[in-house]
Structure formats: C-alpha cells, structure tokens
Structure 1
C-alpha cells in the first residue's frame, strides 16, 4: 500500500476539502485527487463522497481513518528510532497567544525552551483567541495557547495550567447584586466572558444591575481601569494577584468561589509535528504562570 496516499487520505479526512488537503501535503489538486483515486481502487471501495465545495467520509472511510492514522504514526516512529539524526533535525513552531500572556509568560520562557531543545525554534503570534484559533485551524500557525472553551472536532489540545479568577475592585463594597447599582463592570466585550466566571458559579441566577459597562478588549486595559477606581472586574488570578498582594486592589466576595478554567495548547488534528507539540505542552506545564 502507498503510504503517501494514506497521508493524503488522512489530510482529506481532516480538512474535508481536497484543495486545502492538497496544499497541506504539498501536491497539486490534480495529483492529490489521483492519489485518493488510486487508494480507493486499491481498496475496492469509495472513501469520500464529494460535492463541488466539500468532501465527506463514507462509512468505509470512517472505518479506515483510525487504522491509517495509527499506521502512519508507527511509520514515523520507526523512522525516528532508525535515524538518530531525526531527533536533532531543526524545526520551527509558531504559537499563538493573547498579548498579555505572551508578554508575561511565553516570551520570557523562550530562552529556557531553546536551551532544552536547541534544534527547535519557537515564534509567537499574538492576537485575540477567535482569530488565533482560526489561524490554527487553517494551518497559518501551528498551535495556540488559550483558555477558550472548545467544541471543535478538528482541533486537539493538551491542558497546561488551571486558570483561577478573582472578582476585584479598589474601595468598592460588594456583597451581592444589590450593591452594584452605582458601579461600572469592566470586561472584555459585551457578552461579559470574564464576569461569567462569577455568574456561572452563583446558584440563584439573579441579574446584576450595574450602572454602566465598559469593554476594554483585553485584560491589561481592564486592569488599568480597575486600578484607577473606574470599575470592578473579574480577572485571571495569576494576572491580578500581585496587585491583591500589594493592596492596590482587593477581592470582592472573597468567600465565593468562581468557576475555574484552564490554559490549553491547541493544534489542528493530524498535525505533522503533533509529537513535538505534545513535548512542548509537557515543558509548558513545568513553567508557572506569571
């Protein structure tokens, strides 16, 4: 069996688009389609149903996919074992991250990460999470560090660190929803993604009637507003804890646990450097958030 045709098959199963899959494996669309056709002829069954825009796995295609992925992984492992130079071959990973986490955690870690694997070079690409996840899906970047909640079968991830949150302000007194009528809630956007870590932890579902809302687009700008006394906010604990310790801000509702999340390293399924990404995830787990 032609192993290159199997790689084409798994790429097509990943993207469900022959043109995108051909680009992923470095073939012209015509050559890629020919590979799939020859594989189907060899197996005696159709693996994809195709329309002008999309391809869909047939039942035989679904049955073949896990075996093809395992076989290709075993082939790659055999090559690495047989060729000691493979382990030292230079490679590059581009990792997306939101700005604040990149500046405070990932960028300072690059020196240590380079020392542990001198043959690996890591580039950072900063932006907001939805944009970075889309770049990860389409292969523009290799992976993204994010705490966004995922419900996408085309992505794989490894958990890095739990992310705790704190509800903070300066001199404000807040014991519940009735105490916020004169206050401003500062958050990333109007869907209140940070404040929901508090709302989702409360049992009664009561509305919080803030006088105003301010949307800053990122946690660094939120912190500036909170430190200035211009509002209250839910912020990642790793980010705001130094201000709590220095008494520049204080926790509101200190006895109320907030929902937790986690930072994850996310990459597209069947990434050719998946093993290297898993190794990177293991190293990042050993680096405390800051």
Structure 2
C-alpha cells in the first residue's frame, strides 16, 4: 500500500479547512493549479473523491470528511517526529522492566515508585523480583532492560552505575548466644549456618574478609532462598548468618541481634543499576541512577 505524502495531506487539510483552493494555495506556498494537482494525485492514490467543486462552492465529500481528522492527526504526529528528533518538546514515552531482589524491591524501590513517576513522567517502570542469578540471566537474554543488584557480573556487554555501598554483618540472636556462645572459631560446631543457597552467597562476605577467622565446621547448614527468610530464622534463634546491614539496622540497634566477631570488617559490595551497553536509552538510565543514588537504602 502506497502511503500518501505528507505534503499532499497538508494541501488537503488547508483546502478542507478553508473550502477555497486559492486561499489554501497561499497558505501552503503553491499556485492554485499546483494545489489542485496535489489534491488530484491524492484522490487517485486513495481511490476516492475528496471535494465536490462547482463554480460557486467547494464542499467535502463523505470521504473527505472521514479523512480530515485523520489527516490532521497524521500532520501532528509528523511534527512531533521532527521535535523528538531535535530533542524538543516532551520526552518520548519509555517502558522498561527493572529486576531486583524481593527484599530490596519491597523495602526501597516500591516505596520510591510514586516519586520516580513524578520525576520521570515519561517512564513506565515494571518490576521483576528474583535471585541475583535469575536477574542476571534475564538481563543477558533481554527479558528485562535493567537491574538493581550487588551481584558480581563479569559480562562486558553489561554496564553499571554505582548507587549505594552495601555492608554486611555476621549476626545471631542474643538468646541463642547465651545458650551457645560463638566467640572462638571452634564454637562454630555448635551452630547452624543459614544462607540463601549452597553457594553461600552471603557467608562469603565474612569468609573472604581480610583477617576473618576460619570457622572450621558448623553443626549444619540451611538454605532458605531469600534474605528475608534468613533474617526471620536468625531472629527466631535457628542459626547464625551474614545479612546486609540495611536489613538488620533496627534489630542491631534494639539488640535483637548481635554482631559476631565484631572486629572483622566484612567485605563490602555496591548496589548498581546494570543495563546493556548497547541500549540506546542510556540517558534515561542515567537519570534513574541519579534518583536511586539520592534515596537512602532501607
């Protein structure tokens, strides 16, 4: 299907609004004969007459009446295309899906959504909750556009902007420690280590820290899938675990949890906004990263 030329539509709208070909020709900068030729070509292309012309009047046909609002809308969109390409006018709408961990998403990102919408009205942001591995794989596969994560990503196709430092603490409930102290490495044999999965993604922040004692053996291990579940079980006195400080700040302050081996400075990490380096929406990611970095983690 051949589409009508923008200039032909502009001539049609000018003539339809004035119902006078001579006046319309002045508006579009053509002679009346050239305007009539444009209209004739458009009618042939569409296969329908657009005007009824007599020596005394010009009227729109039913086809012309049907075309007029569509032609106006088309000219408006064409003008919007020019403004968008020149960076003028309102930003173009953007939709993207951001992946993150359930705990961080619920405590930090979800409460920020109204503020993000106000600051970036052109952005519609969807969320995906998953583990670090799930988020990374979806990002690589193009199933999500960006992610907030502290997971180490070794993929040159992905780039990231630092948002917040993430610190960790090895903790246990005071009641558990009264029954079974853990101040010496050998006392780990009386405790269960809680973590997300068998890869020990949380415990590694302690075991790989400079100067951390080697805890030779725990009485057992439990994998709970989510940091929130690990926190709940630690508070219940079911074991010891490494947890992000932002998740347990209140519990440490209220002494519902205690730090273990407090002189050890656990390895830290960073939350980053990660996205594909070839994504043309780098400007929107930069703006989003700035807003996220300005909002404290909670």
TM-score (norm 1): 0.70
Residue 243 of structure 1: aligned partner: 251
Residue 116 of structure 1: aligned partner: 119
SS in 1 for 2:211: coil
Structure 1 residues 2-59: Cα deviation after superposition (integer angstroms, max 9, x where no partner): xxxxxxxxxxxxxxxxxxxxxxxxxxxxxxxxxxxxxxxxxxxxxxxxxxxxxxxxxx
Say whether residues 1:263 and 2:266 are aligned partners: no
For residues 227 and 204 of structure 1, what CA distance do their matches in structure 2 show? 23
SS in 2 for 1:262: strand
Deviation at 1:83, TM superposition (A): 3.2
For residues 131 and 269 of structure 2, what CA distance do their matches in structure 1 show? 17
Residue 83 of structure 1: aligned partner: 87
Moved more, 213-222 or 132-141: 132-141
Listed as ranges, the gaps of 5+ residues in structure 2 are: 1-81
Deviation at 1:105, TM superposition (A): 0.5
Structure 1 residues 237-259: Cα deviation after superposition (integer angstroms, max 9, x where no partner): 00011111122111111221100
- Residues 79 and 149 (structure 1), Cα distance of their counterparts in 2 relative to 1, 3 Å cut: farther
For residues 241 and 188 of structure 2, what CA distance do their matches in structure 1 show? 12
Deviation at 1:207, TM superposition (A): 4.2
Larger Rg: 2
SS in 2 for 1:272: coil
Structure 1 residues 55-91: Cα deviation after superposition (integer angstroms, max 9, x where no partner): xxxxxxxxxxxxxxxxxxxxxxx98682312x52211
Residue 98 of structure 1: aligned partner: 101
Residue 202 of structure 2: aligned partner: 194
CA contact (8 A) 2:171 2:260 kept: yes
- The structure 1 residue matched to 2:141, chosen from 138, 141, 152, is 138
TM-score (norm 2): 0.68
Listed as ranges, the gaps of 5+ residues in structure 1 are: 1-77
Say whether residues 1:168 and 2:176 are aligned partners: no
In the alignment of these two chains, the number of paired residues is 212
Measured on the aligned residues, the alpha-carbon RMSD in Å equals: 1.8
Say whether residues 1:282 and 2:286 are aligned partners: no
For residues 205 and 247 of structure 1, what CA distance do their matches in structure 2 show? 24
For residues 279 and 243 of structure 1, what CA distance do their matches in structure 2 show? 33
CA contact (8 A) 2:188 2:215 kept: no
Structure 1 residues 137-156: Cα deviation after superposition (integer angstroms, max 9, x where no partner): 12111101111011111111
